[in-house]
């Protein structure tokens, strides 16, 4: 199962992905997390020391080779060989496997950056067993979707908080995700305080979020004291477990 997460900046994507990762581990799943945010944050959230992690994007020459750049050509041809990249760039700690993409180039019109192509190929070509879960943590916004990078995922979770601007971004992402023909697209509410917030989300999204996460003082404290999120016992009640259960139950 390959699951990507998107949504406006700061709505809780990395937080929710880390909690979902822990939940999948508890169920005995093999979890690979790909941090595709240009300011990567996932290692810290998982309590993994960034030592020994080479962001894929720093290997520009290697990536250009794998993306099959033709000298003098303004774009990169498809078909990079990516099978060994995972082994080389992934680190394993505490049962989590993590790969960091790093700061990728912004796509100009007509430019397909090798970092993106390699990520896309990896998502498409990765051979997964029934027990394997890939979690793709993305930057804010919809650029990846626009470039079709996440077309290879089975699930896209769009995180929204009860605010107009996050909902506006969320709805835009949903439209792009549908154009990219991602099979399962669902909203996940975060910082949902009570019935009013739920109602606001439902009315403005036009649908019920798959799961709603409450605001958690434990998470706030962990962030302030720079503690790994996954070290906190059962932050956010049973929302992460409910999310993972629903993802697994979706055929
Ligand atoms: N449910 C929550 N309760 C309390 N704090 C939260 C919650 N979700 C996210 N946060 C905090 O909000 C900030 C942004 O979250 P983050 O997951 O980094 O967002 P994103 O990845 O979408 O940019 C972090 O400081 C995080 O600790
Ligand atoms: Mg993030």
- What mean pLDDT is predicted for residues 38-61? 79
Q: How far is CA 82 from the centre of its chain?
A: 19
CATH of the domain spanning 2-249: 3.40.50.300
Supply 21's token pair.
């990762």
Instruction: Look at residue 39 in the predicted model and tell me its pLDDT.
Output: 81
Percent of the chain predicted with pLDDT > 70: 78
Instruction: Look at residue 106 in the predicted model and tell me its pLDDT.
Output: 52
Ligand nearest to the CA of 9: 1
pLDDT tens profile 103-135: 655 544 334 566 666 777 777 777 778 889 999
Instruction: Look at residue 79 in the predicted model and tell me its pLDDT.
Output: 45
Asked if residue 219 has its Cβ within 6 Å of ligand 1, the reply is yes
The answer to whether 135 and 29 are in contact (CB under 8 A) is no
Name the residue ranges covered by the structural domains of the chain.
Answer: 2-249
User: Ligand 1 centre from 11 Cα, in Å?
Assistant: 6
Return all residues near 32 (Cβ < 8 A) that are at least 6 apart: 86, 90, 97, 98, 99, 132, 133, 134, 135
Asked if residue 157 has its Cβ within 6 Å of ligand 1, the reply is no
Closest atom of ligand 1 relative to the 215 alpha carbon: 3
The whole-model pTM stands at 0.88
Measured between alpha carbons, how far is residue 175 from residues 20, 224, 251 in Å?
24, 35, 22
Of 94-98, 140-144, 182-186, 228-232, the range with the lowest mean pLDDT is 140-144
pLDDT tens profile 68-101: 555 444 443 434 466 567 777 788 888 888 988 8
pLDDT at 18 over 60: yes
Asked if residue 190 has its Cβ within 6 Å of ligand 1, the reply is yes
């Amino acid at each position: 199962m390959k699951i990507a997460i998107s949504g406006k900046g700061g709505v809780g994507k990395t937080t929710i992905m880390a909690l979902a990762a822990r939940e999948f581990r508890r169920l005995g799943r093999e979890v690979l997390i790909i941090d595709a945010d240009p300011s990567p944050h996932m290692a810290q959230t998982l309590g993994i020391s960034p030592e020994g992690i080479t962001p894929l994007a720093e290997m520009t020459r290697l990536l250009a080779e794998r993306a099959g750049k033709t000298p003098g050509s303004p774009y990169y041809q498809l078909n990079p060989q990516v099978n060994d990249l995972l082994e080389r760039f992934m680190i394993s700690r505490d049962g989590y496997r993590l790969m960091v993409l790093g700061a990728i180039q912004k796509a100009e019109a007509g430019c397909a950056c090798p970092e993106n192509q390699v990520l896309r190929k990896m998502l498409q070509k990765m051979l997964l067993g029934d027990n394997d879960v890939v979690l793709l943590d993305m930057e804010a916004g919809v650029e990846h979707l626009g470039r079709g990078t996440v077309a290879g995922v089975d699930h896209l979770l769009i995180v929204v908080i009860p605010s107009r601007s996050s909902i506006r971004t969320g709805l835009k992402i949903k439209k792009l995700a549908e154009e990219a023909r991602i099979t399962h697209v669902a909203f996940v509410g975060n910082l949902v305080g009570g019935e009013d917030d739920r109602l606001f989300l439902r009315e403005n999204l036009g649908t019920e979020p798959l799961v709603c996460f409450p605001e958690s003082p434990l998470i706030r404290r962990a962030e302030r004291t720079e503690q790994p999120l996954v070290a906190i016992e059962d932050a956010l009640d049973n929302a992460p477990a409910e999310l993972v259960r629903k993802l697994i139950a979706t055929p």
